[in-house]
Amino acid sequence: MNEFDLIARLTPALPANPTVVTGAGDDCAVLDFGLPDKLFLFKTDAVVEGVHFEKDTPPEKIGRKALARCLSDIAAMAGTPAAAVVTLGLPEQFKPETVGKIYEGLNALAKKHGVAVVGGETTANPERIFISVALLGTVRRGKQILRSTAQAGDAIFVTGGLGGSAAGGHLDFEPRLAEARWLAEHVAVHAMIDLSDGLAGDLRHILQASGVGAELLKTAIPISRAAKEIARNNPLAKAPLAAALSEGEDFELLFTVAAGDAVKLADAWKKHFPKLKLSCIGKTVAGEGITLRDKTGAQKLDAHGYEHFSG
């Protein structure tokens, strides 16, 4: 049973109450506490030594990543982060100076995005460090963007370059908060997700939630320089396209818009975000699954993204 099988097994029995607009199954929960112009976003995420970072990772980068992952999920809903609590699990022989540097990295990113760190919990954890962050944010009522509302015929867009996480990009990425809020205000985005588990995996989340399929153009997928450099220097590494499709932790935005809005969006994006590439990589279609098209034809894409517990 992999991560997503487990989630599918657990979520149907989760209790709800009248505040829940969107519960488990999207990037954040969406909650309504009766404010006339705002809904609340609620998200938790964790990083674990040996899974999300290595023992020799600079501690400032560990703390930064722990918060950045949650910020990226707030971005995927076009929200604004507000306040976080942090749970810190430490082995018995931890070094206080290391913990201090973890918080330096976390606090610096929090200040950059106006996030208050308002408490948390510390606990002993044998052998390794883990950090869990719960983050509260807001979004303008009616402007939240879900995974489940893509429509057949939509254009599929992705920001940035993909496949560079193995070169350290998973520690230094910038959550696309400003870009996502701009999208929500200027374009009718149908569905959106952040790329935490890889393009092939995260696109499937949108497709399955929305009841559509997708056709991607192989030459349009934006492969990062880092992915190409890794493949050039290491013959055992994934091919650049395979890395762009299946490497987790790019944390770019993947979203769909009506085909008629695609050209207007691309032109406006260049003016507002000239340093961040935006690529139209294909379209959603009736049916299910993903096909990958090139000049020789189309073939079914079997690749998936990263899955915990998949062996």
Contact 84, 67 (CB under 8 A): yes
**Is residue 135 domain-shared with residue 168, that is, in the same domain?**
no
CA atoms of 23 and 93, how far apart (whole Å):
39
Of 105, 140, 175, which marks where a domain is finished? Answer: 140
pLDDT at 2 over 90: no
Question: Phi/psi of residue 69, each to 5°?
Answer: -60, -45
**Is residue 61 domain-shared with residue 168, that is, in the same domain?**
no
What is the structure's pLDDT at 307?
A: 62
- Mean pLDDT, rounded, for 136-162: 97
Contact 185, 125 (CB under 8 A): no
- Mean pLDDT, rounded, for 174-193: 97
Q: Is residue 145 part of a domain?
A: no
> What crossing angle do the helices spanning 59-76 and 96-112 adopt, rounded to 10°?
30
Closest CA to 163 of 231, 250, 51: 250
Closest CA to 83 of 13, 122, 135: 135
Other CB atoms within 10 A of residue 104 CB? 13
Q: What is the largest CA-CA distance in the chain?
A: 59
**Is residue 163 domain-shared with residue 72, that is, in the same domain?**
no
Q: Has this prediction a pTM greater than 0.85? A: yes
Enumerate residues 6+ apart whose C-beta is below 8 A from 185: 143
**Is residue 160 domain-shared with residue 278, that is, in the same domain?**
yes
CA atoms of 139 and 110, how far apart (whole Å):
18
Please report where in the chains the tokens 């200040």 appear, as a residue.
Answer: 111
State the average pLDDT for the chain. 95
* 21 membership: H or E segment, kind and range: strand 20-22
pLDDT in tens, 90-135: 999 899 999 999 999 999 999 999 999 999 999 999 989 999 999 9
**Is residue 263 domain-shared with residue 179, that is, in the same domain?**
yes
β-sheet bridge partners, residue 255: 157, 192
Domain count, the chain: 2
Contact 140, 225 (CB under 8 A): no
- Mean pLDDT, rounded, for 237-251: 92
pLDDT band at 258 (very low <50, low <70, confident <90, very high): very high
**Is residue 51 domain-shared with residue 188, that is, in the same domain?**
no
Domain that holds residue 59: 3-140
pLDDT in tens, 184-236: 999 999 999 999 999 999 999 999 999 999 999 999 999 999 999 999 988 88
